Amino acid sequence: MAARIIAGNWKMNGLAAALPEVAWIADAARDMTCVETVIAPPVTLLPRVAGHAGITPAAQDCHAADAGAHTGDLSAPMLAEAGARAVILGHSERRANHAESDVQVAGKVRAAWGAGLRTILCIGETEAQYRGGRTVEVLARQLAASLPEGATPANTIVAYEPVWAIGTGITPREDEIERVHRALRDRLASRFAQGGEISLLYGGSVSAENAASIFALQNVDGALVGGASLTAGKFVPIMNALAEKGAYA
């Protein structure tokens, strides 16, 4: 069975004043033995988030090289030394705003694995691709090109995030989410020896109101949450919804 994982991506949000939210999330996480809670804060807060038991600290990106003349970038070994145990890679905002290709994402994945970091690999289709019925085709291409050989449940998590659903309050229909996750599970299982056990997360306007119904779907092992992960009041109910699924799975 794939592990149940709830991950919060803070993106470019959060100063030291937000750290009490992490403490409250960590308090809740310690009681959820069947769920792993991941928080990806801005790198300025990473060492302090890493100090909370019950939370897996994650970075939001890394460079493909371990060192070099890359002003402003951070390598995977640097992030690991700062306390990260995982890293989000291939997020649609990186692909769009920084023109990251699948090949570049794959290079970052290899670098993360080399530094002992687990990768949360993001894939997702645009609204035009969704409306054109190309969702599975686009995701299959991204998964094939962005995820190198050697993926296991220990080093890889895959997050499906429809680009058009991120931060919009709109989500695909439940049958669409289930169909996509089934297709991703089949592709992972056919390609990797333990692919059937790699956790599949859904991301895109996940909230306390819709979390339970999303988590009830087959092959949805958790969620990658954006804005709702910034406060314990919004994030903990989503955590609780996944913990309840884990308890009865």
Token couple for 66: 């371990």
C-alpha R_g of the chain: 17
From the number of C-beta atoms within 10 Å of its C-beta (0-12, 13-18, 19+), residue 27 rates as middle
**Percent of the chain predicted with pLDDT > 90:** 94
Q: Is 149 a catalytic residue?
A: no
pLDDT given at position 247: 47
Three-class DSSP category at 220:
coil
Which residue in 91, 100, 125, 181 is the catalytic one?
Answer: 91
In the predicted structure, residue 246 carries a pLDDT above the cut 70: no
Q: Which of 36, 161, 178, 181 is catalytic?
A: 161
120 sits in which H/E element: strand 118-123
- Please list, in sequence order, all residues whose beta carbon lies within 8 angstroms of the beta carbon of residue 141, skipping any fewer than 6 positions away: 102
Distance in Å from the first CA to the final CA of the chain: 9
- For residue 206 the two structure tokens come to 């996940």
The response to whether 234 counts as a known ligand-binding position is no
Question: Is residue 226 annotated as involved in ligand binding?
Answer: yes
Residue 100: other Cβ atoms inside 10 A: 20
Residue 167 among known ligand-binding residues? yes
Annotated binding residue 8? no
217-241 tens-digit pLDDT = 999 999 999 999 999 999 999 999 9
Task: Encode pLDDT of 26-60 as tens digits.
Answer: 999 998 989 999 999 999 999 999 999 999 999 99
pTM above 0.75, yes or no: yes
Alpha-helical (H) ranges within 37-119 are 46-49, 76-81, 92-97, 102-114
91 assigned to active site: yes
Tell me how far apart the alpha carbons of residues 247 and 249 are, in angstroms, rounded to a whole number: 6
- Average pLDDT on 194-214 reads 96
The class of domain 4-86+105-248 in CATH terms is alpha beta
Confirm if 14 and 230 have CB atoms less than 8 A apart. Answer: yes
pLDDT at 206 over 80: yes
Report DSSP letters for 158-187, one per residue: EEE--GGGTTTS----HHHHHHHHHHHHHH
Residue 212's H or E segment, with its range, is helix 211-215
Instruction: Output the pLDDT for position 97.
Output: 96
Residue 249 pLDDT > 90: no
pLDDT digits over 133-177, tens only? 999 999 999 999 999 999 999 999 999 999 999 888 888 999 999
Q: What is the mean pLDDT of the chain?
A: 96
Q: What pLDDT sits at residue 178?
A: 97
- Residue 227 assigned as binding residue: yes
Specify the pLDDT at position 248: 44
Q: For residue 119, is pLDDT > 80? A: yes
Give the separation between CA 113 and CA 68, rounded to whole angstroms.
19
The residue extents of the domains of the chain are: 4-86+105-248
The answer to the question of whether 205 is labelled as a binding residue is yes
| Residue 240 identity | N
